[in-house]
């Protein structure tokens, strides 16, 4: 029987950047993958419009179809302003999703990311996923997001992967999903580029002797 996996991300595109290959592998192995996005991803931009928001949501729908995500949830918190929202409010909305799908495996942001929404998302996950009796959650992993994880002040809570998922057979799916988010991607040598995403996967793979991998930091594992 397959497991239920939930990706908790701040913005649409973070899931493809952080664990797109892993999502595709989970789906191929018979697991059910869901995603929840806490912030809207566009309203912090000076020229943001409803049309831009619609385009980003359409891109997300396409990317999720490529990766095989069964259902996604958009909680609609303000972009890059989640530090101005009471953590309790965020946690309560996230808990409603957790109660609905009852995941065994969680993927979310690294708590040392420069982006404040990523940081708050991690805190909300750890709070909502408290290890209380009868909780279905057995595994929690944090992922890295290019142009957010590596851009923080050196030495401040660095991302150190200690779990690696071989995505050699799924790197093309990851790149296809990122291509769906073309409006969010940048040209190389920008960190958040298709070329750099491929290089990162190759680097993480080389660390453990495979062609391509995604690296994670283990937060909790119950066996």
What residue segments make up the domains of the chain, in order of their start? 4-221
Residue 50 predicted with pLDDT over 90: no
pTM of the model: 0.95
* pLDDT of res. 42: 65
Give me the mean pLDDT over the 22-37 stretch: 98
Q: How confident is the model at residue 62 (pLDDT cuts 50, 70, 90)?
A: very high
* Contact yes or no for 60/53 (Cβ under 8 A): no
HEC assignment per residue over 167-204: CCCCHHHHHHHHHHCCCCCECCCCCCEHHHHHHHHHHH
Give me the mean pLDDT over the 114-140 stretch: 97
End-to-end Cα spacing for the chain: 17
Task: Indicate the DSSP class of residue 78.
Answer: P
Q: How confident is the model at residue 43 (pLDDT cuts 50, 70, 90)?
A: low
Determine how many CB atoms are found less than 10 A away from the CB of residue 57: 17
* pLDDT of res. 128: 98
Q: How confident is the model at residue 67 (pLDDT cuts 50, 70, 90)?
A: very high
Q: Quote the mean pLDDT of the chain.
A: 95
Q: How confident is the model at residue 110 (pLDDT cuts 50, 70, 90)?
A: very high
* pLDDT of res. 56: 85
* pLDDT of res. 44: 62
CA distances for 18 relative to 87, 99, 165, 175, angstroms = 23, 24, 12, 12
Q: What is the CATH number that goes with domain 4-221?
A: 3.40.50.10320
Q: What single string gives the DSSP state of each residue in 25-71?
A: HHHHTT-EEEEEEEE-SSTTSTT--HHHHHHHHHHHHHHHHHHT--E
Give me the mean pLDDT over the 136-160 stretch: 95
Report residue 166 as tokens: 């071989």
């Amino acid at each position: 029987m397959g497991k239920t996996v939930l990706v908790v991300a701040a913005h649409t595109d973070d899931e493809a950047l952080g664990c797109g290959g892993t999502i595709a592998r989970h789906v191929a192995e018979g697991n059910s993958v869901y995603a929840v996005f806490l912030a809207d991803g566009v309203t912090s931009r000076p020229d943001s419009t409803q049309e831009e928001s619609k385009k980003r949501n359409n891109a997300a729908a396409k990317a999720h179809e490529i990766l095989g995500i069964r259902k996604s949830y958009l909680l609609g918190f303000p972009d890059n302003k989640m530090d101005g929202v009471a953590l309790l409010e965020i946690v309560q909305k996230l808990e409603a999703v957790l109660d609905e799908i009852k995941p065994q495996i969680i993927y979310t942001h690294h708590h040392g990311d420069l982006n404040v929404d990523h940081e708050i998302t991690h805190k909300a996950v750890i709070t909502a996923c408290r290890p209380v009796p009868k909780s279905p959650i057995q595994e929690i992993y944090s992922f890295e997001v290019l142009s957010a994880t590596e851009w923080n002040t050196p030495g401040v809570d660095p991302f150190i992967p200690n779990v690696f998922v071989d995505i050699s057979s799924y790197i093309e799916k990851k790149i296809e999903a990122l291509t769906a988010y073309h409006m969010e991607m940048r040209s190389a040598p920008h960190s958040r580029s298709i070329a750099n995403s491929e290089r990162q996967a190759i680097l993480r793979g080389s660390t453990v002797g495979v062609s391509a991998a995604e690296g994670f930091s283990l937060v909790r594992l119950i066996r």
